A = this chain, B = another copy of it.
Amino acid sequence: VKTSVFYLSDSTGITVETLATSLFSHFDTLEINPIRRPNLSGIEDIKKVAEEISQAARESESPTIVFSSLISEESREVLRACPCELYDIYDLFIKPMENKLGIKSSAITGRSHGIGETKEYNRRMNAINFCMANDDGENILNFEKADIIIIGVSRTGKTPTSLYLALNHSLNIANYPLTNEDLESDKLPDILKPFKSKLFGLTINPTRLQQIRHERRPNSQYSSLSQCQYEIRTAEVLYRQTRIPFIDTSSISIEEISVAILNNKHLLTNIVNNFND
């Protein structure tokens, strides 16, 4: 049986969906039918959604679940009358926080942070542009402006991690691929030396690396196990000898790699949130 899950928001609904997706990962056997209803703006919208919820509840044996980040009391009252398991972010968090902190929330639907103009917006866009321009050592002149330089042999996860950190933390991330030439020299490439404190290394299990490279260039020297073993072994020796912090990405996600880097470099940038959810 698929469980219908509604995501209701007066903005994007990304907050409730992200939260719910994480919660559902704790229930392996649960099958979800996601129903997104963002940009709900008036009581008429809410009444229509309430009707959809009632219909879903009638049609399924499994309970209908609703996650809502709606703020207006009138809308939330309509939801409370629906035949569903309701998780109301306002009731669960915002109201207790108001009481505890002794300050009122700006409970205005669609409150605008003037997103288009803000410094934060520009910082994020600049970080994304920086990341695109400094991917795979393309533009080594910009290492000066980088917050972090991720290094590693080809296909260890440098690019996805860089993009994640740029998008979610507005950080300027460069990445540099360790080439065969770099590895043979047995020391840190000269162009990286002035930026040693910014370096973070990625490594990976050679068998896993071989699988990944095989998908890209099957049956090549590049994707041979012996080549992967050589590159990983040499890169790890380099990290250890030069005391560059590094992490094994074989069985962790982009998010886990990113958090490890943020912690290691003591970067306390907040997660970007400019979607008014």
Residues of A within 8 A of B (CB): 3, 11-15, 17-19, 21-23, 25-30, 32, 34, 36, 38, 62-63, 65, 69, 71, 85, 87, 89, 92-94, 96-97, 100-101, 103, 105-107, 112-117, 121-122, 124-125, 128-129, 132, 135, 159-160, 163-164, 167, 208, 212, 215, 250-256, 259, 262-263, 268, 270-271, 273-277
Contact = CB atoms under 8 A, between A and B. Distances in A.
A19 B87 CA distance: 14
A263 B121 contact: no
A270 B34 contact: yes
A21 B273 contact: yes
Q: How many copies does the complex hold?
A: 2
Given A27-B105, A93-B23, A256 B275 contact: yes
B106 A27 contact: yes
Nearest to A26: B105
A62 B149 CA distance: 37
Nearest to A37: B263
Nearest to A35: B268
A215 B166 CA distance: 19
Contact of A167 (B63, B103, B113, B163): B163
Given A116-B251, A271-B17, A63 B29 contact: no
A23 to B, nearest CB: 5
Contacts of A256: 11-12, 275-276
A90 to B, nearest CB: 9
Given A132-B159, A160-B167, A101 B253 contact: no
Contact of A22 (B29, B106, B117, B277): B277
A239 B124 CA distance: 28
Contacts of A271: 14, 17-18, 21
Given A167-B164, A275-B255, A36 B263 contact: yes
Most chain B CB atoms below 10 A, which of A28, A115, A275: A275
Contact of A25 (B250, B255, B273): B273
Contact of A19 (B15, B103, B113, B135): B15
A32 B270 CA distance: 10
Given A85-B100, A160-B167, 4 more contacts: A3-B101, A12-B256, A26-B105, A26-B107
Contacts of A159: 128-129, 132
Contact of A163 (B27, B163, B273, B277): B163
Contact of A27 (B103, B250, B253): B103
A271 B14 CA distance: 9
A30 B128 CA distance: 28
A17 to B, nearest CB: 5
